[in-house]
């Protein structure tokens, strides 16, 4: 496992493109100034040993050295020792709806991005709980198994989109059935499933059976609604530009609405609650209080206890490049001039 101690220093990397622009501007200024003094071909004949490419090569060496120094300041660390620690928490699975209806923009920026933000903010409030993530549309897909690695969870979460599952539709029952397989600890006192959706369900009849089965297994189901009840069309975009709106078989524009009734019914049957996700702060705070009130189960988890600094390798490589940069002169070397690799000498 790699740990970055001072991530803020990554902002210094913005210096690199600025230096490149300054170098390019300097080259233009040099050429313009040389034209004022005389003919460029004549100047080249007067200075035959001046290398054309070495200035750029020296800049590349310097930029690489600077980049390595910046990474050294960030100080990457590698975990060297794993140890088993005891934690107390709740097992939580997030099932995020990734059907096309989640592209509706009745809630900014759209339903799926709102859902991802809600999950991310909930994860930020967790301490020792284990989490898993499921993506579902017409079928459910395991995105991340139960883990305590919140960083990995956020990474997988950000990669979720409405194109990740080929079969479209919304089958909440599939997500509930898959979530049941995530909870592998029979002694866990609280197993929690959060379904983040706009409530469109194409398998309502089987969803009730899935909820009953999950409750029998000790799973509490909470639902979070994203969207608005008045509804919204589903934009079809290319390169971020709306090309058209989704239409049904009759050519009419499809209006997708937040179906709170289904979500409330699922939550009631699942011994949970329905939460409206329109206000992110309020929803996250409420969920935080719910989880804090639940009984915690003690479990063992492995984590890195010792990390070893790696900055010295980057600093050493940077110093080596700077040392080489000193000995790279602007004039041509004899062996390179004979090879004429860069066509610097034209036949006269």
- Helix, strand, or coil (residue 139): coil
15: Cα separation from own chain's centroid? 24
Taken in order 338, 339, 345, 348, the sign of the CA dihedral is positive
Alpha carbon distance 115, 102 (integer Å): 9
Where along the chain do the CATH 3.40.50.410 domains lie? 84-296
Please provide the DSSP assignment of 274-327 as one string. EEE-SSHHHHHHHHHHHHHHSPPEEEEEEEEEEEEE-HHHHHHHHHHHHHHHHH
* CA 70 to each of CA 57, 205, 314: distance values in angstroms, whole numbers, following the listed order: 20, 58, 9
The whole-number pLDDT of residue 342 equals 47
Residue 80, H or E segment: strand 76-89
Burial 11-22 (b: 16+ CB within 10 A, else e): eeeeeeeeeeee
- Helix, strand, or coil (residue 114): helix
Alpha carbon distance 31, 220 (integer Å): 73
Backbone angles phi, psi at 273, to 5 degrees: -145, 155
238: CB partners within 8 A, 6+ apart: none
The whole-number pLDDT of residue 68 equals 94
Per the document, the length of the chain is 348
- The third-level CATH classification (topology) of the domain covering 84-296 is Rossmann fold (3.40.50)
The whole-number pLDDT of residue 43 equals 59
272: CB partners within 8 A, 6+ apart: 192, 193, 220, 221, 222, 223
Cβ atoms of residues 311 and 73 within 8 Å: yes
Per-residue confidence in pLDDT tens, the chain, 348 aa: 677 888 899 999 999 999 999 989 988 887 777 677 666 666 566 555 555 666 788 889 999 999 999 999 998 888 666 666 666 788 999 999 999 999 999 999 999 999 999 999 999 999 888 899 999 998 899 999 988 889 889 999 999 999 888 777 778 999 999 999 998 766 566 899 999 999 987 666 688 899 999 999 999 999 999 999 999 999 988 887 888 999 988 889 999 999 999 999 999 999 999 999 999 999 999 999 999 888 777 666 565 567 788 889 999 999 999 888 877 765 555 545 555 544 545 444
Alpha carbon distance 105, 111 (integer Å): 6
Instruction: State the angle between helix axes of 150-158 and 111-124 in degrees (0 to 180), rounded to the nearest 10.
Output: 170
- pTM of the entire structure? 0.67
The whole-number pLDDT of residue 164 equals 87
The whole-number pLDDT of residue 304 equals 58
Alpha carbon distance 40, 338 (integer Å): 23
25: CB partners within 8 A, 6+ apart: none
The whole-number pLDDT of residue 286 equals 96
Tokens of residue 88, six digits:
């107390």
Instruction: State the angle between helix axes of 204-216 and 172-180 in degrees (0 to 180), rounded to the nearest 10.
Output: 20
Alpha carbon distance 114, 127 (integer Å): 23
């Amino acid at each position: 496992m790699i740990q970055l101690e001072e991530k803020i220093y990554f902002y210094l990397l913005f210096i690199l493109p600025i230096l490149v622009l300054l170098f390019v501007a300097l080259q233009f200024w040099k050429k313009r100034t040389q034209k004022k003094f005389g003919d460029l071909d004549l100047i080249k004949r007067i200075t035959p040993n001046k290398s054309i490419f070495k200035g750029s090569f020296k800049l590349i060496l310097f930029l690489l050295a600077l980049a390595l120094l910046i990474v050294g300041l960030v100080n990457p660390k590698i975990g060297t020792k794993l140890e088993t620690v005891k934690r107390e928490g709740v097992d939580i699975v997030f099932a995020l709806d990734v059907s096309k209806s989640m592209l509706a923009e009745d809630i900014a920026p759209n339903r799926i991005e709102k859902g991802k933000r809600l999950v991310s903010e909930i994860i930020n409030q967790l301490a020792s709980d284990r989490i898993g993530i499921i993506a579902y549309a017409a079928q459910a897909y395991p995105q991340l198994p139960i883990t305590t690695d919140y960083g990995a969870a956020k990474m997988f979460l950000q990669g979720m989109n409405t194109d990740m599952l080929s079969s479209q539709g919304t089958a909440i029952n599939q997500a509930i059935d898959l979530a049941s397989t995530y909870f592998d600890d029979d002694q866990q006192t609280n197993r929690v499933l959060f379904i983040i959706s706009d409530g469109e369900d194409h398998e309502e009849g089987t969803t009730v059976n899935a909820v009953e089965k999950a409750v029998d297994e000790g799973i509490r189901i909470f639902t979070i609604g994203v969207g608005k009840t008045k509804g919204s069309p589903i934009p079809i975009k290319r390169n971020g530009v709306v090309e058209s709106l989704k239409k049904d078989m009759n050519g009419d524009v499809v209006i997708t609405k937040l179906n709170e009734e289904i979500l409330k019914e699922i939550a009631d049957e699942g011994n949970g609650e329905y939460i409206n996700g329109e206000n992110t702060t309020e929803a996250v705070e409420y969920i935080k209080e719910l989880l804090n009130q639940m009984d915690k189960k003690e479990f063992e988890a492995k984590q890195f206890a010792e990390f070893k600094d790696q900055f010295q390798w980057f600093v050493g490589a940077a110093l080596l490049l700077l040392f080489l940069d000193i000995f790279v002169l602007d004039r041509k070397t004899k062996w390179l001039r004979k090879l004429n690799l860069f066509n610097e000498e034209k036949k006269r």
